[in-house]
């Protein structure tokens, strides 16, 4: 089924219902439909390419513009407005679009002006007139619904092709698993060019008819105020955001009493944050898992299924295998291997890259996630690290996460990132980069003692490097790839 038909049914059946609230306004169903219809007319008049670039912030305008593209049978390509202009231009050129629908305020505010044949700025569209009536396109499941660009290890973003069947399936899977209804209020601070922001925070509320609360920028105080004002039933954030909420002195248990689901994703949830929320607020944060290539949700640990460090069981329709990446042999419970997935939400491939597409699917058609993990006897999944980020220290496999968990429990450390440092004897040794809490005294000798109490000797970092800020992705995830390119690791000018 096309993604947009359930959305259109919701808009027509409940025109006065408020579906989105963003930093500037509320969006009723009829508002979305009117804006989408007007934008569709502009796209139809000016766009000749199959793809349409979408440069719109986290807001109700994003699902409206996306819907406009689908009504015409076009492929919306969300543009990451946090990239440098050169990287953004690469995506515009690579996806082949000749038209960008943009927020003029966003472009001017960030000084981003990617070049395309035509740019439709929302501020220049007259939304006061009656829009043209049109019969929305009928689109088969296998046709592309979007191309989401994700950074790859090669440095060039990869275009992940998600079909209408992929997105529609993932919405149904999440709704079935979580039991979302029209009465739910979903809050998130994940941008729409991110797969979770696209599917779960934008398209799911529009499809189900529940309310989505959009915050364009993360501020702990603003997020807490929004929780108090809107009383969400579900919140989706990354661990660092929960850590920031935990540090707010005026947060109290009642602030979180409306929440059925408190979901963390994007990176592992530190023990200190999980235990802090339980002890201070009396609520449990549950982890989820997914990738851009999986539309994105594949696992979600529901409250009744909570197990520490588990991302839960596969959601309906997702099949998982744990495989020895060297031999392709299936592994049993409690054995570490590569997580491989199959299901209706798995991408069609990488845009204009058939070789890379072929490389990430195994002989049984399962997607190779590149993540290492294990299952318990009940099928709950535990992610232990990335294959490419695994360290081999004197023949022993070491994952950065287990070291970072120990470092992050040391009070002066706000966040850590661990990568491998070349070593002529052991092959690699860990090196840790640290971001410190403001005002906390830091003593490296005390940190080493802390590590010795919790880690075997070969896992204790050989060096500790303090940075003002760790490099992060647009969603706040620490970029170990960027850390591994620093001179302290490469030897290009770093201290010995």
- Would you call 421 helix, strand, or coil by DSSP? strand
Burial 103-118 (b: 16+ CB within 10 A, else e): beebbeebebebebeb
- Which residues have a Cβ under 8 Å from the Cβ of 73 and sit 6 or more positions away? 137, 139, 143
> For the residues 94-112, what does the mean pLDDT come to?
96
Position 491 scores a pLDDT of: 79
Position 397 scores a pLDDT of: 81
pTM over 0.85: yes
Residue-wise pLDDT for 320-354, tens only, equals 999 999 899 999 999 999 999 999 999 999 999 99
Alpha carbons 472 and 478: distance in angstroms, whole number: 4
First and final C-alpha spacing in the chain: 59
Position 394 scores a pLDDT of: 84
Q: What is the length of the chain?
A: 496
- Structure tokens given for 463: 């060096």
> For the residues 47-55, what does the mean pLDDT come to?
98
Report the percentage of the chain scoring pLDDT > 90: 81
Residue-wise pLDDT for 382-405, tens only, equals 998 888 888 889 878 888 988 998
Position 256 scores a pLDDT of: 98
> For the residues 14-34, what does the mean pLDDT come to?
97
Alpha carbons 59 and 24: distance in angstroms, whole number: 8
Position 315 scores a pLDDT of: 98
Residue-wise pLDDT for 260-309, tens only, equals 999 999 888 888 899 999 999 999 999 999 999 999 999 999 999 999 99
Position 272 scores a pLDDT of: 86
Position 250 scores a pLDDT of: 96
Report the percentage of the chain scoring pLDDT > 70: 98
Alpha carbons 306 and 92: distance in angstroms, whole number: 42
Residue-wise pLDDT for 182-236, tens only, equals 999 999 988 999 999 999 999 999 999 999 999 998 999 999 999 999 999 999 9
Domains of the chain: 4-195 (3.40.50.12780), 390-490 (3.30.300.30)
483 and 417 Cβ atoms separated by less than 8 Å: yes
pLDDT mean across residues, the chain: 93
Pairing of strands 367-375, 391-393: unpaired
Position 155 scores a pLDDT of: 61
């Amino acid at each position: 089924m096309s993604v947009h038909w359930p959305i259109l049914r919701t808009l027509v059946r409940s025109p006065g219902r408020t579906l989105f609230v963003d930093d500037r306004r509320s969006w009723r169903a009829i508002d979305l439909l009117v804006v989408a219809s007007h934008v569709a007319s502009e796209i139809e008049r000016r766009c000749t390419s199959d793809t349409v670039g979408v440069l719109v912030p986290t807001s109700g305008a994003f699902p409206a513009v996306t819907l406009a593209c689908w009504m015409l049978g076009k492929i919306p390509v969300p543009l990451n407005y946090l990239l440098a202009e050169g990287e953004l231009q690469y995506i515009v050129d690579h996806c082949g679009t000749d038209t960008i629908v943009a927020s003029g305020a966003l472009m001017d505010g960030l000084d981003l002006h990617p070049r395309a044949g035509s740019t439709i700025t929302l501020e220049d569209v007259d939304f006061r007139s009656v829009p043209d009536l049109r019969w929305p396109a009928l689109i088969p499941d296998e046709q592309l619904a979007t191309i989401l660009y994700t950074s790859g290890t090669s440095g060039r973003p990869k275009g992940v092709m998600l079909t209408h069947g992929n997105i529609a399936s993932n919405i149904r899977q999440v709704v079935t698993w979580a039991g979302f209804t029209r009465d739910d209020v979903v809050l998130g601070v994940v941008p729409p060019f991110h797969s979770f922001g696209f599917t779960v925070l934008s398209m799911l509320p529009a499809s189900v008819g529940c309310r989505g609360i959009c915050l364009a920028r993360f501020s702990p105080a603003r997020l807490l105020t929004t929780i108090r004002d809107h009383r969400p039933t579900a919140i989706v954030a990354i661990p660092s955001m929960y850590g920031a909420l935990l540090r707010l002195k005026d947060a109290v248990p009642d602030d979180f009493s409306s929440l059925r689901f408190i979901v963390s994703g994007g990176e592992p949830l530190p023990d200190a944050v999980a235990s802090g929320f339980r002890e201070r607020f009396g609520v449990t944060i549950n982890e989820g898992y997914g990738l851009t290539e999986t539309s994105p949700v594949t696992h979600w640990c529901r409250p009744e299924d909570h197990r520490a460090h588990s991302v839960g069981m596969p959601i309906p329709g997702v099949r998982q295998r744990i495989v020895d990446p060297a031999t392709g042999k299936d592994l049993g419970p409690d054995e570490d291997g590569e997580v491989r997935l199959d299901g209706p939400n798995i991408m069609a491939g990488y845009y204009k890259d058939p070789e890379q597409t072929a490389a990430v699917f195994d002989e049984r058609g399962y997607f190779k996630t590149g993540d290492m993990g294990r299952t318990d006897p009940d099928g709950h999944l535990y992610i232990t690290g990335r294959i490419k980020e695994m360290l081999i220290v004197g023949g022993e496999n070491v994952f950065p996460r287990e070291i970072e968990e120990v470092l992050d429990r040391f009070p002066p450390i706000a966040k850590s990132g661990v990568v491998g440092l070349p070593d002529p004897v052991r092959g690699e040794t860990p090196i840790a980069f640290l971001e410190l809490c403001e005002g906390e005294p830091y003593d490296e000798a005390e940190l080493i003692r802390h590590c010795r109490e919790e880690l075997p000797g070969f896992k204790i970092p050989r060096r500790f490097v303090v940075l003002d800020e760790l490099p992060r992705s647009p969603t706040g995830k620490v970029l170990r790839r960027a850390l591994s390119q620093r001179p302290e690791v490469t030897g290009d000018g770093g201290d010995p």
